[in-house]
């Protein structure tokens, strides 16, 4: 049985000698709590008609129950495992924690490709990018990725847009480009590197909000939001009106953090259309 973070923290308080309210535990833990009380590892005292206090019963029984039934040898390490996303299975094992507690999502990582046939290094091994349409390199988050500092990281929305091909390469700055699917893994990578970042997404209020709240705080001045030179005419000719209605209602108070984004917000609101990133792909 795996125990959630809330309940483990309450158990740690009890181990440290504190008395807690029964209501401190979540509903999913109540059956286990009653078992621990029944065998004497915990002690329950009635305070009022509907209120009970829980404290340590028999320390040895408490420790044995944690180890044999909950597979917890150390409550502090268990909390560390639940709160530290970066821990690998091997690191969990070193802490004496059942590695089954950490489910490894095989899809958790980065899809990437480049129109410029650049190379990246995965765990020190060079990999050449530039795959056929419909293909991209997937790198699991636990692998180590390195590439040249002059490469521009372009964050795109999904795998299909990474594996698509641009209609016009010149819409981007004259730099070597690496497309990477936007995700928690990309945000973590951006926090570790010094490369410039370009947020290539739908040109609407929702897309701007995502950039300003999830990516700009990480990349700061080395980040930018993709704005074509002819954005007004593109919005008028190719923009989708229905999508903008919902965005206008939800993000009507959105303010740009830079002059260029502030101007873009006004343009989007004025024209009332959304330009999807797929327009720029074949």
Q: Summarize pLDDT for 195-231 with one digit per residue, the tens.
A: 999 999 889 888 899 999 999 999 999 999 999 989 9
Average pLDDT over residues 40-69: 89
Query: Are 88 and 136 contained in the same domain?
Result: no
Q: Summarize pLDDT for 144-157 with one digit per residue, the tens.
A: 899 999 999 999 98
Residue 242, pLDDT score: 64
Write down the pTM of the prediction. 0.62
Of 84, 101, 118, the residue at which a domain comes to its end is 101
Average pLDDT over residues 34-39: 90
CATH of the domain at 264: 3.40.1360.10
96 pLDDT exceeds 50? no
Query: Are 153 and 65 contained in the same domain?
Result: no
Query: Are 24 and 143 contained in the same domain?
Result: no
End-to-end CA distance of the chain: 49
Beta strands, E only, 108-234: 109-113, 119-122, 125-128, 137-140, 145-146, 152-156, 177-181, 197-199, 223-225
Query: Are 233 and 125 contained in the same domain?
Result: yes
130 pLDDT exceeds 50? yes
- pLDDT tier at 278 (50, 70, 90 boundaries)? confident
**Highest mean pLDDT of the ranges 6-10, 96-100, 252-256:** 6-10
Number of domains in the chain: 2
Query: Are 76 and 199 contained in the same domain?
Result: no
Return mean pLDDT, the chain: 84
Residue 53, pLDDT score: 95
Query: Are 157 and 60 contained in the same domain?
Result: no
Cα separation of 107 and 84, whole Å? 19
Residue 91, pLDDT score: 47
Of 101, 125, 142, the residue at which a domain comes to its end is 101
Cβ proximity of 80 and 95 under 8 Å? yes
Residue 245, pLDDT score: 57
Query: Are 142 and 231 contained in the same domain?
Result: yes
Residue 105, pLDDT score: 47
**What is the sign of the dihedral through the CA atoms of 200, 202, 208 and 209?**
negative
Pick the residue with more confidence: 100 or 50? 50
Query: Are 162 and 85 contained in the same domain?
Result: no
Query: Are 90 and 177 contained in the same domain?
Result: no
Query: Are 147 and 31 contained in the same domain?
Result: no
Weakest mean pLDDT among 83-97, 127-141, 171-185, 251-265: 83-97
CATH of the domain at 48: 1.10.10
Residue 98, pLDDT score: 46
Query: Residue 51 sits in which domain range?
Result: 5-101
Of 70, 101, 132, the residue at which a domain comes to its end is 101
Query: Are 29 and 66 contained in the same domain?
Result: yes
Query: Are 216 and 138 contained in the same domain?
Result: yes
Weakest mean pLDDT among 47-61, 72-86, 246-260: 72-86
How many other CB atoms are found less than 10 A from the CB of residue 2? 13
**What is the sign of the dihedral through the CA atoms of 11, 12, 15 and 18?**
negative
Of 211, 188, 209, the closest CA to residue 198 belongs to: 211
Residue 85, pLDDT score: 53
């Amino acid at each position: 049985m795996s125990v959630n973070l809330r309940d483990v923290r309450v158990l740690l308080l009890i181990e440290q000698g504190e008395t807690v309210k029964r209501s401190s535990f979540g509903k999913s833990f109540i059956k286990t709590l009653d078992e621990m009380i029944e065998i004497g590892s915990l002690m329950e005292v009635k305070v009022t008609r509907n209120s009970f206090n829980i404290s340590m019963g028999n320390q040895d029984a408490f420790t044995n129950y944690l180890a044999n039934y909950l597979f917890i040898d150390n409550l502090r390490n268990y909390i560390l495992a639940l709160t530290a996303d970066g821990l690998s299975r091997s690191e969990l094992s070193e802490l004496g924690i059942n590695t089954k507690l950490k489910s490894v999502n095989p899809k958790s990582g980065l899809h990437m490709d480049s129109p410029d046939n650049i190379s990246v290094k995965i765990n020190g091994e060079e990999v050449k990018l530039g795959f056929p349409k419909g293909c991209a390199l997937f790198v699991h988050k636990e692998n180590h990725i390195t590439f040249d500092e002059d490469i521009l990281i372009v964050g795109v929305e999904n795998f299909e847009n990474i594996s698509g091909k641009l209609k016009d390469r010149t819409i981007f700055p004259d730099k070597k480009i690496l497309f990477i699917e936007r995700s928690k893994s990309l945000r973590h990578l951006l926090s570790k590197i010094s490369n410039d970042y370009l947020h290539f997404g739908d040109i609407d209020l929702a897309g701007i909000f995502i950039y300003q709240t999830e990516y700009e705080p990480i990349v700061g001045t080395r980040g930018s939001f993709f704005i074509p030179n002819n954005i007004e005419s593109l919005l008028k000719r190719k923009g989708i009106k229905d999508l903008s209605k919902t965005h206008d209602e939800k993000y009507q108070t959105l303010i740009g953090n830079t002059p260029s984004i502030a101007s873009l917000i006004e343009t989007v609101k004025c024209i009332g259309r959304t330009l999807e990133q797929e327009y720029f792909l074949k």
